[in-house]
Structure 1
Amino acid sequence: MIALFVLALVFASWAPRVPQIKTDLRLGDGRLGLALLGAPVGAVLTLWLVGLAVSRFGSVRVVRAALPSYCAVGALFPLVAGQWSLFALLFLWGATSSGLDIAANAQAIGVERGYGRPIMATAHAAWTAGALSGAGIGTVAAALAVPVGAQFAVLGGIGLAVALPATWWMLPDPAGPMAEASGERSGAQPAAGWSAPAAVAEQSRARGRRRWSARFAALCAVSFGSFLCEGVAADWSAVYLAEVTGAAAGVAGAGFVAFTVCMFAVRLVGDRAMAQYGPPRTVRGCTAVAGVGFAGALAVGTLSFGSAAGVIGFGALGVGTACVAPAVFSTAGRLGESAGTSIAVVSTVGYTGWLAGPPVVGGLAELVGLHRALTIVLLLLATIAAFAPALRSPRADPAADERVSGPPATDTGGPETDVGRPGTDVGRPGTP
């Protein structure tokens, strides 16, 4: 959680400094927009490599490698002299941030397994708290005209000093999550004379792989919709409030603040809700709140109280997306053989949604106006709700019960011990 807090703290302090950097480098809107693509492009292009690194070396080693690099990149801002050097620096920053992000989430999934109950929402609440803190620090630093390089050098140094010692208390990654949960050993082979049961087991494994593939595609759809909604809130909330509802400049930024605060508040209680009601029901309930609140805000957007309704609507959107990313990461990390690789896949699709948000909404706004264009958020929320059943906690591999590694037991009087077999608690959601 400390690593996620530092990740958000440092990067969120960058946003309030963008206007000053734009002025210092004499960049127009178009050139600045291209330069700002460096961070997301760097993150997306390195997510797969990070997933492989986590699989190969473990989440703890990757966190220890990525954390110093990430905290040090910001101190290089004094070397930026133009559009492309800014792009290069942000590319490097995005790459190191993706390393820290994926590895820290993989570590959180390992901790969640150890606890035997959901903790991902709380971990992501730490990220949200870091983002709020970083944005506030960046705003104060901008008001005091603190040099950008000095700001990031200090923040990076503090973040490194706090987070790096905490890595010594991180847990080693479990090997082969689904295999170990089902009692499978990668080197086990069926004993001679048992070819028929082995064939049945292989068929069952094939069916299981098809089910996981379909479920993973659903998780990617949920991730895409959630990240795109977050991108809409970040990029278009202020524009909507200013241009559609007529909000003053000081009020227009309140939409994203409401979104972030509500997301933080829901994440604080999200783990308890998912433990009690399950991730699918929790996510569907939250998306229902978001759908009603955001639809209502759009419906009254041109009225005299449209600005207040808009702030409430974006706050409701924060409620709707608060538990989605934690639930997606937690579920994805339990599906594959490597939590890092699985998280990298859903993160890549999610970041694609984040990148697609601005041009998609902007293109629709050119055609039908921003007010109507934002109805795409309601479609995204409906998509998340439709695929929410994919967020249920994975059970152990159903093929485990059909694997044969020796002659069948003849003693039928002993207690049932097969992991994941119906009637047992082991492998069920919410149990150790």
Structure 2
Amino acid sequence: MSFDRDHVWGGVVTTPARAAYAGFAAFGALWGVWGALLPAVREQAGLGHGQLGTALLFIGAGALPAMLLTGPAVDRWGHRVTALLQVGLGMTGIVVAVTGHGFVGLSAGLALLGAVSGAADVANNAAAASAEQASGRPVIARAHGVFSAAVVVASLAGGALRGAGAPVVVPFVLAAAAGGVAGLITLAASTAWTRGPGSVTATPAWGDRRPLPLLPLLVAGTLVALAFAVENAHQSWSAVYLGDVLSAGPPLAAAGPAVFAGAVALTRFATAGLTGRHALVVLVAGALTAAAGTAIVAAAGHVAVAVTGLGLAAAGTAVLQPTVFGLVARRVDEADRGRATGVVTTVAYLGFLAGPVYVGQWAGAVGLPGAMLAVAAVAVVLALSVPPAVRTIGGRQAPVRRCRAG
């Protein structure tokens, strides 16, 4: 059975690669809406900044255990699980918008959102990795580019709807619709991922699985965690930085995260073909570019210079996660794809959570420009860590697959 076989759904031809793109588009739509509507959600819940910060921690609390549980589920039941999670993610956004009144209600909704989102993250990445390995195309990098583009579009659309007076729930309903479409596309293509006796990478019986080699997966997850720490530091603090340090007005300050996400999307589309062939060079160059861009932000005396630095930092971080996931994809048996992706994604998510907190702690001690220099230092550490990490992951070796004669 070919993993790249065409399937027809509603008159539209789809493949596992296109299903992966649809899943990442829905994922980006939900989080783009969330970013744009966060002030409105906070207002609806009646929370102060401190209470909101505490409530947001429940996203991580829900995500981390769900990530570890999802990988085995995908390995066991295939990408029907992915389709279900894509639909569920959009529905969960509606639940948060409807029930997020008061600290307890919002925190409970965010824990649920974190759990479903973390699970969908693992499942989507596993789907993209499977499609990339089977098709030989740079699906992972392009899928992450689709995610970033969807974040930009959805955040702008969500802000416009809110500005037009639409209720908080309306943008989340549209994001849920995107999740429903993605789920249907993934379900239609899921037979191409079916692992039977005639498939390219047939799965052994559930009880025959061997233990995963954890060290390479933990190293890969740590690399992505460092990349996520830099990326989310900018995404979370760039608007505050432009406003507080450079006295940008609200509209101009709000452009910071959009510029960052847009630069990430463009870079991922432009460099998708490079990440697999030149992983070591791409990772080192990306980390150093992110460090340089962040240093420019720290030294900027004008908004235009800071935004230029943000774009450069975005271009650097954009190539990091897809490249590492591509290295792992080439080393992991198809039968273990979900579990391996779950381990890497869970470790990586710790960096995503830590990045904004790291900036906050340094900002309290040395101010926001100094905090940006501390973020640049993380990127330098990442660059220095790449060569030994790539050797540990085994990125220079040929991929290993379990194959059976069909």
1:214, 1:95 → 2: CA distance?
25
Q: Which residue of 2 aligns with 1:333?
A: 329
Q: Which residue of 2 aligns with 1:33?
A: 53
Counterparts in 2 of 1:163 and 1:57: CA distance versus 1, 3 Å = closer
* Structure 2 SS opposite 1:37: helix
What letter corresponds to residue 25 of structure 2 in structure 1?
F
Question: Cα gap change, 1:141/1:340 in structure 2, threshold over 3 Å: closer, same or farther?
Answer: same
Instruction: Please say if residues 226 and 351 of structure 2, whose CA atoms lie closer than 8 Å, have aligned partners that are also in contact.
Output: yes
The 5 Å alignment of 1:69-148 reads 69-76=88-95, 77-148=97-168
Q: Any unmatched runs of 5+ in structure 2?
A: 1-20
Is the partner of 2:147 in helix, strand or coil? helix
* Structure-to-structure mapping, 1:249-260, within 5 angstroms: 249-260=250-261
Q: Is the 8 A contact 1:15 1:135 kept in 2?
A: yes
2:372 is aligned with 1:351:
no
Question: Match for residue 280 of structure 1?
Answer: 280
The structural deviation recorded for 1:166 is 4.1
Report 1:151-230 matches (<5 A): 151-170=171-190, 171-172=192-193, 213-230=214-231
The AA in structure 2 aligned to 1:368 is V
After superposition, give the CA deviation of every residue in 1:281-301 in whole Å (9 maximum; x if it has no partner): 1222222323233323323x2
**Residue pair 2:22, 2:185 contacting (<8 A) in 1 also:** no
CA distance in 2, matches of 1:376, 1:252: 21
Alignment partners' CA distance in 2, 1:168 and 1:33: 40
1:62 paired residue number: 81
In 2: Cα distance, 1:126 partner to 1:2 partner: 8
d(CA) in 2 for partners of 1:393, 1:186: 30
Q: 1:243–1:112: structure 2 CA closer, same or farther, 3 Å change rule?
A: same
Amino acid at match of 1:323: V
Cα shift at 1:374: 1.4
When residues 393 and 259 of structure 1 are mapped into structure 2, their CA distance, relative to the original with a 3 A threshold, is farther
**Would the alpha carbon gap of residues 297 and 153 (structure 1) be closer, same or farther in structure 2, given more than 3 Å must change?**
closer
Q: Kindly tell me: are residues 104 and 162 of structure 1, through their superposed partners in 2, closer, same or farther at Cα, counting changes over 3 Å?
A: closer
Letter in 2 for 1:348: T
| 1:271 Cα deviation after fit | 1.8
Structure 1 Cα separation of the partners of residues 285 and 360 of structure 2: 29
* Preserved CA contact (<8 Å) 1:294 1:317: yes
Matched, 1:289 2:285: no
Q: 2:245 corresponds to which residue?
A: 244
In structure 2, the partner of 1:202 is none
Q: 1:320 aligns with which of 316, 319, 329?
A: 316
Equivalent residues of 2:83, 2:183 under 8 A apart = no
Give, in whole Å, the separation in 1 of the partners of 2:183 and 2:218: 34
Shift of 1:49: 0.6
1:243 offset after TM fit, Å? 2.1
Aligned to 2:9: none
Q: What displacement does 1:251 show? A: 1.9
- Corresponding letter in the other structure for 1:216: L
1:368 matched residue in structure 2 = 366
Partner letter of residue 268 of structure 1?
A: F
Under a length normalisation based on structure 2, what TM-score does the superposition of the two structures give? 0.82
- Structure 1 residues not aligned, in runs of 5+: 188-204, 401-418, 420-432
**What is the Cα-based RMSD across aligned positions, in Å?**
2.9
Q: How many angstroms apart in 1 are the aligned matches of 2:72 and 2:129?
A: 17
CA contact (8 A) 2:84 2:183 kept: no
Q: Which one has the largest radius of gyration?
A: 1
Whole-angstrom CA distance in 2 between matches of 1:71 and 1:184: 31
**Scaled by the length of structure 1, what TM-score is found?**
0.78
SS of residue matched to 1:245:
coil
Alpha-carbon offset, residue 213 of structure 1:
4.8
Q: Alpha-carbon deviation of 1:322? A: 0.7
Deviation at 1:64, TM superposition (A): 2.3
State the alpha-carbon separation in 2 of the partners of residues 174 and 376 from structure 1. 46
Amino acid at match of 1:167: L
The structure 1 segments of at least 4 consecutive aligned residues displaced by more than 6 Å after TM superposition are 183-187
CA separation of 1:358/1:396 partners in 2, compared to 1, >3 Å: closer, same or farther? closer
Q: In the alignment, is the contact (CA less than 8 A) between 1:255 and 1:310 conserved in 2? A: no
Contact 1:331 1:394 in 2 (8 A): no
Aligned to 2:18: none
Q: For each residue in 1:221-242, what CA deviation from the matched residue of structure 2 results, as whole angstroms up to 9, or x when unmatched?
A: 2111111111101221122222
Paired letter, 2:247: G
- Superposed displacement of residue 169, structure 1: 1.7
In structure 2, relative to structure 1, the CA distance for the partners of 1:174 and 1:316 (3 Å cut) is farther
